[in-house]
């Protein structure tokens, strides 16, 4: 087997040939971990995913491979579903980060491929994981050409290097230039910016001369202003742990709270709204104020009988055909239902027919409210939600917010799709 290693400040890059079939070069690899019964990785681990995404953008010939696992708590069937959701949520995040689905491979194993025995909480925690790899597939000839090369220098981001496997005979450090810009806040509100990157080449050939390994990382400390986003239950005020999709200068990021809070450098944020998801709560879209300090985000509990109006759901006039601009809002509902995988809902369709008693509307008008609710139902089922969790109903004009609507705003409030939580 041919193999080699390129060690760097940001991890190691390996290349190896499998014994048969296609030849794969592993460019990078990371693991993310999950809380018990959670399908979103820990916030701190999302930086590992971002690293893979950044490398994938720089090399269009790479593939992202995602493999998800669980511990052994619960039934095998449930654990398989949880691992599938973990893989698909990571896949969705990578797609939202600009990598096309055609360059992503996913698989899930439930509890069937543990790295520990699940004998105690620490071992079970290590088994709740997902591996995210950046790989290249190549021919044997190309692999051997790479393996037989002996570079005298390495350019920044030249992350494919291989040598015949044998004991390492010398090492050499090479400066590969400044790292990409990034901010990593610590608890004191300080960001560390490494100003150089070094890598260590491990070669299987004899050193031409005595070589001394060295690695230098210079840290610059810069005071930054922080924005703290605090998630709370709107009824009790208690802190909630959840996930937020938020726009930053590096693109859209998915961050998870710790102890109900997320701290973000103000300089990293872009104007706009953010989307919040938490187990046991409805999805919420919130405008983020670009000022230092704490901003409270109140979430409504998912309880039987509670309702929310779906925002930005648009239909072709007089029809039940969803417009393309509805997709973003529907995808947010989809993610909320994936987060709350045990919740059952009713999708209610409502139309605007003011100054008319419900029993006096036409059958066509009544059926329009039914068909619009079913259009949302169909979208969710087509995207993986079990239809056993869903019901739909048309309410006609029987629950108009403004029975005597005159303004465009009032008419729009009457013409809506609502989600209601169902009991067991």
Q: What are phi and psi of 78, to 5 degrees?
A: -65, -40
Mean pLDDT of the chain: 75
Q: Which of 314, 309, 308 is nearest to 327 (CA)?
A: 314
3-state secondary structure of 136: strand
Q: Quickly count: other Cβ atoms within 10 Å of residue 12's Cβ.
A: 14
CATH of domain 3-216: 3.30.1330.60
- Interatomic CA distance for residues 344 and 340, integer angstroms: 9
Q: How many residues are listed for the chain in this entry?
A: 424
* pLDDT given at position 223: 67
Q: pLDDT of 303-341, one tens digit each?
A: 889 988 888 898 888 899 988 888 888 988 988 888 888
Where are the chain's structural domains?
3-216, 226-299, 307-421
* pLDDT given at position 198: 40
* pLDDT given at position 116: 86
CATH of domain 307-421: 3.30.1330.60
**Exposed e or buried b per residue across 178-203, where buried means at least 16 C-beta atoms within 10 angstroms of its C-beta:** eeeeebeeeeeeebeebeebbbbbbb
Q: C-alpha angle with apex 33: 31 to 35, nearest 5 degrees?
A: 175
Tokens of 204: 């299987």
Cα–Cα distances in Å, from 229 out to 102, 290, 300, 336, 340?
35, 11, 16, 19, 22
Q: Quickly count: other Cβ atoms within 10 Å of residue 350's Cβ.
A: 23
* pLDDT given at position 70: 92
3-state secondary structure of 335: helix
- Interatomic CA distance for residues 59 and 28, integer angstroms: 12
β-pairing, 345-350 vs 390-394, is parallel
Q: Quickly count: other Cβ atoms within 10 Å of residue 102's Cβ.
A: 6
Tokens of 135: 């790989």
* pLDDT given at position 24: 64
Q: pLDDT of 32-86, one tens digit each?
A: 998 877 888 877 788 889 989 999 998 888 899 999 999 988 888 888 888 988 9
- What does 185-247 look like in DSSP terms, one character per residue? B-TTSEEEEE---EEEEEESSPPSS---------EEEEE--EEEEEEEETTT--B---EEEEE
* pLDDT given at position 23: 52
* pLDDT given at position 7: 34
Do the first three CATH levels of 3-216 and 226-299 match, i.e. the same topology?
A: no
- Interatomic CA distance for residues 308 and 312, integer angstroms: 13
* pLDDT given at position 222: 57
CB-based contact 73:123 (threshold 8 Å): no
* pLDDT given at position 245: 86
Q: What are phi and psi of 358, to 5 degrees?
A: -55, -35
* pLDDT given at position 26: 75
CATH of domain 226-299: 2.60.40.1120
* Low-confidence spans in the chain with pLDDT less than 50: 1-22, 139-220
* pLDDT given at position 129: 93
> Please, what is the angle between helix 327-339 and helix 363-382, to 10°?
60
Q: Judge if pTM exceeds 0.75.
A: no
């Amino acid at each position: 087997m041919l193999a080699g290693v390129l060690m760097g400040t940001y991890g190691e890059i390996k290349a190896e040939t499998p014994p048969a079939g296609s030849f794969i070069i592993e460019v990078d690899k990371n693991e993310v971990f999950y809380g018990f019964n959670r399908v979103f990785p820990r916030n701190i681990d999302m930086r590992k995913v971002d690293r893979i995404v950044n490398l994938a953008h720089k090399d269009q010939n790479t593939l992202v491979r995602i493999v998800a696992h669980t511990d052994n708590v619960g039934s095998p069937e449930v654990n398989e579903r949880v691992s599938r959701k973990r893989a698909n949520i990571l896949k969705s995040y990578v797609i939202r980060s600009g990598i096309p689905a055609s360059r992503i491979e996913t698989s899930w194993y439930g509890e069937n491929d543990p790295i520990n025995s699940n004998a105690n909480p620490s071992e079970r925690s290590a088994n709740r994981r997902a591996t995210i790899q950046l790989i290249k597939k190549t021919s044997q000839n190309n692999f051997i050409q790479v393996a037989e090369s002996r570079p005298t220098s390495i350019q920044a981001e030249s992350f494919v290097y291989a040598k015949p496997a044998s004991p390492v005979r010398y090492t050499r450090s090479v400066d590969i230039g400044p790292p990409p810009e990034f901010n990593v806040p610590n608890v004191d509100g300080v960001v560390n910016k490494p100003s150089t990157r070094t890598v260590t080449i491990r070669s299987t050939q004899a050193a031409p001369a005595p070589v001394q390994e060295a690695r230098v990382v210079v840290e610059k400390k810069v005071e930054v202003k922080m924005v703290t986003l605090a998630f709370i239950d709107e009824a009790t005020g208690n802190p909630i742990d959840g996930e937020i999709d938020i726009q930053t200068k590096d693109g859209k990021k998915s961050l998870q709270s710790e102890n109900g809070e997320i701290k973000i450098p103000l300089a990293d944020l872009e104007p706009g709204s953010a989307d919040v998801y938490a187990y046991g709560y409805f999805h919420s879209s919130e405008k983020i104020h670009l000022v230092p300090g704490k901003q409270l985000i109140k979430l409504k509990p998912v309880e039987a009988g509670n309702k929310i109006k779906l925002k930005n759901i648009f239909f072709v006039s007089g029809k039940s055909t969803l417009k393309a601009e509805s997709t973003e809002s529907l995808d947010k509902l989809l993610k909320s239902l994936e987060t709350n995988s045990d919740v059952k809902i009713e999708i209610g369709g409502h139309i605007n027919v003011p100054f008319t008693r419900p029993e006096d509307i036409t059958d066509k008008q009544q059926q329009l409210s039914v068909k619009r609710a079913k259009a949302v139902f169909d979208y969710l089922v087509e995207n993986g939600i079990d239809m056993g969790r869903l019901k739909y109903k048309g309410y006609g004009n029987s629950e108009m917010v403004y029975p005597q609507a005159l303004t465009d705003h009032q008419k729009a409030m009457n013409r809506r799709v609502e989600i209601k939580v169902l009991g067991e």
